[in-house]
Chains A and B, each alone.
Chain A
């Protein structure tokens, strides 16, 4: 099964490049999304009950365990939704056959490299795949070919490559830490031989690995590529970047974090994660007010949520459960949010917050989706993010981290207010008359129902999660917690 997931996209890319047909592009993208989804579900039924035991592999480099199954499921679900949305989204854009082919190939390669990152059992190979995600998505960010998208793509490739290069330094330091007897970067080998690892080099390597993969995850202070890339990429791509790419980088940090726990150097790792998490919240709280671009606002919200996940990981215990739940909720809601942002861009043809108002009057469904996504992302009940943030806060107070809990709450409130002002102004109010100068934009409501379906499904599912966490999901998260535990 894993072989199929790994091999299919490569064959699909070749097919697309050979035939260069628009219809084939559409079909293969959708087919790949379904294929990945069904395979993941089958893998879930086969593999979820066992821990870290190889199920199926190509030379042992790709395996499924109870930790990465969550990430793979999330990736497949989000990709399916985005693929359905994507075809309708591109319909109204004037793009040539060649551009469409390159776009499809880049998406398939992007999803392939994320799948590789998630399934990889070797730290070095994970690194290779994470770097490949940068390369694949560079074209997607540049896709609009405007001055701004060139700038965003340049910053994205350059900053991420430097970050990832630093992560490679971390991997080399880790291989120094393992001593002369062991020569393996397989996570399993590292976990089994933790006693021989030198804590000095391990700590040093964790700093580099956290900075490197943290760059891809979007943690402050190495987040600077994220708002640019998310705002300039086409909306389906922004949804993929935010809801799946950041998670993949988080998985690698989690896996190395477990090694830190095993060697009892986790206190050091927790401090680093906690400070980066809080800094991410702080950065979002500072910037979220001044933004006049709603896609940038959503990008900052991603930085915030990744910060919350990092804090959850750092605090540990029940907060780790909260971190997983938060990740799932964030991916679903943020994907819906970015896709709705795509609808708004289609209706108003501008990304400026101040030039948009009265979305609900012009397009009821998009307007309400916009508000529901907002309620979900800032953690108003019944959003699953409410439960996760509440659980995290409870753990913080239970562990007597009162100051951190207070700072956490204050920053969250500031961010909530900042986003609320923009979203409410955009959704309600009267329709603004076009300013006389510059723009001859026409406001057109959306006619294609396929541009709503994915968001409605994502949002409904996440709202259900906020009221009732299904048994299978609970079991999935608990299994992941068992995989993360060191006993």
Chain B
């Protein structure tokens, strides 16, 4: 069951790399949140009730609802719906992302003794998802899609932390969640400001500061 969910998680990464509609990206974030919750539900140690409740809160409330809702709000406020013309066309992105995901599955099938104590399929899929998100951040134009790429990366890192059999201390988990949530919040506020000052949300506009004789 968990493995099926993780494969589905991998597929969401493929869907995101194939589409330029930002609403679809946000929907996929919502979907990833649900998948992460289900993965936690099936795999987490339910005897440690506090930790399990925290994980439920993190995945179901923050990752599934709060962050996608906040992004939708920004989306509607700034009226951007599409990330047209990425550096690499969506179809090629899909092929490249598929190869990365395939690489992840290959890693998880290596019979290596160092993999002792971790769940290989979690590990393979999460590492390939991290790389796919980094790839998407570099190829997409809009600042909002960059933020979505960052959140996807955080989701993948969350999956990676689930692959380790042991838990991080509670205080670290809470701190990490709080930090990430505030980062997303600050980036969202900055997006609004960028839209006011630069009149477009393309990262190309953000190149005023450079090392040359320009008027800086």
Contact = CB atoms under 8 A, between A and B. Distances in A.
B168 A175 contact: yes
A162 B153 contact: yes
A162 B216 contact: no
Interface in B109-155: 114, 116-118, 130, 134, 137, 143, 146-147, 150, 153-154
Interface stretch (B34-42, B56-64, B204-212): B204-212
Nearest to B178: A128
Interface string B174-187: 01101110110011
B143 A151 contact: no
A124 B168 contact: yes
A430 interface: no
Contact of B179 (A132, A147, A185): A132
A168 to B, nearest CB: 6
Contacts of A231: 209, 216
B157 A169 contact: yes
B8 interface: no
Contact of A290 (B150, B182, B208, B213): B213
Chain A contact residues: over half helix, strand or loop, or mixed? helix
A389 interface: no
A40 to B, nearest CB: 24
A296 B213 CA distance: 12
B166 interface: yes
A147 B160 contact: no
Interface in A374-388: none
Interface stretch (B23-31, B87-95, B189-197): B189-197
B45 interface: no
Nearest to B214: A292
B171 interface: yes
B216 A175 contact: no
Contact of B209 (A151, A158, A183): A151
A134 B206 contact: no
B209 A127 contact: no
Given A131-B183, A168-B176, A154 B114 contact: no
Given A142-B190, A148-B216, A165-B153, A185 B172 contact: yes
A157 B164 contact: no
Given A131-B183, A180-B166, A290 B157 contact: no
A421 B18 CA distance: 51
Interface residues of A, number: 49
Contacts of A127: 172, 175-176
Given A131-B183, A132-B179, A165 B154 contact: yes
A223 interface: no
Contacts of A147: 197-198, 208
A65 interface: no
B114 A198 contact: yes
A228 B164 contact: no
B174 to A, nearest CB: 9
B211 A185 contact: no
A338 B157 CA distance: 37
B206 A155 contact: yes
A175 B190 contact: no
B211 A148 contact: no
A162 B157 CA distance: 11
B153 A124 contact: no
Contact of B169 (A132, A168, A185, A232): A185
B98 interface: no
Contacts of B172: 122, 124-125, 127-128, 185
Given A134-B183, A201-B114, A172 B193 contact: no
Given A135-B182, A162-B137, A151 B208 contact: yes
A227 interface: yes
B123 to A, nearest CB: 9
A345 interface: no
A158 B193 CA distance: 15
A128 B153 CA distance: 17
A185 B216 contact: no
Contacts of A150: 190, 193-194, 197-198
B216 A158 contact: no
Contacts of B165: 180
Interface in A298-333: none
Given A169-B157, A231-B209, A135 B186 contact: yes
B216 A128 contact: no
B183 A293 contact: no
Contact of A200 (B114, B157, B169): B114
Interface string A125-160: 101110110110010001000011011111101100
B85 interface: no
A165 B157 CA distance: 8
A212 to B, nearest CB: 11
B190 A296 contact: no
A61 B150 contact: no
Nearest to A177: B114
Contacts of B194: 150-151, 154
A147 B169 CA distance: 41
B120 to A, nearest CB: 12
Contacts of A185: 168-169, 172
A200 B114 CA distance: 8
A292 B164 CA distance: 49
A176 B161 contact: no
B179 A157 contact: no
B114 A124 contact: no
16 contacts: A124-B171, A127-B172, A127-B175, A142-B190, A147-B197, A147-B198, A148-B208, A150-B198, A162-B150, A165-B150, A169-B130, A176-B164, A183-B166, A185-B169, A291-B211, A293-B216
Interface of A: 61, 122, 124-125, 127-129, 131-132, 134-135, 138, 142, 147-148, 150-155, 157-158, 161-162, 165, 168-169, 172, 175-176, 179-180, 183, 185, 198, 200-201, 227-228, 231-232, 287, 290-293, 296, 351
